[in-house]
A and B are shown apart, each in its own frame.
Chain A
């Protein structure tokens, strides 16, 4: 059976899309990450045009974050005030990202830029995460407990200091807005929720307690990816509703499997596994960049009156 994707303008096997959606959904249930950084490359690999893949991913991540953050909200693991400031920055950042995306499409270098972003951020985050969890494991072997040092850096001298009761923080309001801005921008360009950048930024930069981090991050991602979806659909015409539906079905099934599996592993093993997956994706994209492809490629440009 095959199903026609109206915006990607191609027929595809719906079961393949649902399968990969479920696979990535299972990982996000397991690791608590959105999985956009895995899904977008898989969609490229399945032949979906990168611009459609990136935009449609936003729709799926938005849905996943809605259900995720509702669950966290009910358990009280959500700092709405912090989230609102992150969202404010995030909306500006993602709008800038969408227009940069549009500009890069006209330059014809969008694919290269997306790939470079993936290499830099996956490599950086994956590497740090791997080292960190390795250290944590060794510390535990040595019988010490991890100590969390609060550093006093330049960011504590910034103005507009505000109380965040839920996070038990008294920091400048500029910080979450700036984090949101950066995450929103990356999110629009890379077709990811940005959780893999935001979660470390919230822990290490803002110093938020780990308990509220995931819920607040998901809360922010709802608005950032919602905005991405709207703007990509409005200005770039690249959101495929049928593809999004298939990804949603897969993601729902997968997330349930992932949540059930997550009880069987310990957190440290999961973190090392996630770090390795991130590094593997990074390595794959990097090797594609370094190893030459076929001698001549071509791409269809979007033409007025097309379709």
Chain B
């Protein structure tokens, strides 16, 4: 363990408009940790719910560190998804997607990396990484963690609208501290995005009662068409 890195990090997550969360700031009331026994993390239970009128989901992370002069880095990792990377090849003049065989098959559906200070986050020249950044699956924000001289820090991670439901993990590292190469994990927190209310009802219904759901869709369509015709009949 590296001396002088005694941490007290509290992480709190706040979802977008629909919000969320039961936060247990256990760490604050405890007596200071003596020595350098790694990070002292507050217990956090939180979840982000997605309702019908949810706004943009923004995850906010608060914390504090004993060594504000050492830059930190934050990684958010979403639930795994199976993917297929493809490359365009021309066949008979039109482009056809060809699978790239040695590309990863499973990646996090969302990954965000933020830093305080100028820690390089991007791996240069990685074509797969570039594709993920372009599609918004990987979010890279250098210098996006606001670090106060007192050691308090704050960051906002904008999750794209396509952020899927599931479990998300947030890890905070100190990297290259005191010229050591290894990155030191300071804290790890998790939260989950869940659907709620009507949205949850629809997506559960569509999955668990697919036939019934399909019938309802047809019924909605027929009813909507019939009502429209009745309402506008005399105006045509």
Contacts and interface: CB of A to CB of B under 8 A. Distances in A.
Q: Tell me what chain A mostly uses at the interface: helix, strand, loop, or mixed.
A: helix
Nearest to B165: A307
Given A67-B228, A296-B87, A297-B87, 11 more contacts: A1-B55, A63-B228, A66-B221, A71-B229, A226-B218, A233-B206, A233-B211, A234-B210, A234-B214, A241-B213, A300-B81
B97 interface: yes
26 contacts: A2-B56, A10-B162, A12-B161, A59-B217, A59-B221, A63-B222, A65-B225, A68-B229, A70-B225, A71-B233, A229-B221, A232-B214, A233-B210, A237-B206, A237-B210, A239-B214, A241-B202, A241-B213, A241-B220, A242-B202, A296-B85, A296-B127, A297-B86, A298-B83, A298-B103, A301-B82
B229 A296 contact: no
B206 A252 contact: no
Interface of B: 50-57, 81-88, 93-97, 99-100, 103, 109, 127-128, 130-132, 134-135, 161-162, 164-166, 195, 198-200, 202-203, 206-207, 210-211, 213-218, 220-222, 224-226, 228-229, 232-233, 235-236
Given A70-B225, A299-B83, A9 B164 contact: yes
B195 A300 contact: no
A64 B103 CA distance: 44
Contacts of A303: 81-82
A2 B229 contact: no
Contacts, number: 200
Interface in A206-258: 222, 225-226, 229-235, 237, 239, 241-242, 244-245, 248, 252, 255-256
Contacts of A66: 221-222, 224-226, 228-229
A108 interface: yes
A91 B179 CA distance: 70
B217 A292 contact: no
Interface of A: 1-4, 6-7, 9-12, 47, 59-60, 62-68, 70-71, 108-109, 111-112, 116, 222, 225-226, 229-235, 237, 239, 241-242, 244-245, 248, 252, 255-256, 259, 289-290, 292-301, 303, 306-307
Given A7-B202, A67-B226, A289-B95, A59 B131 contact: no
Contacts of A255: 228
Contact of A62 (B97, B128, B199, B221): B221
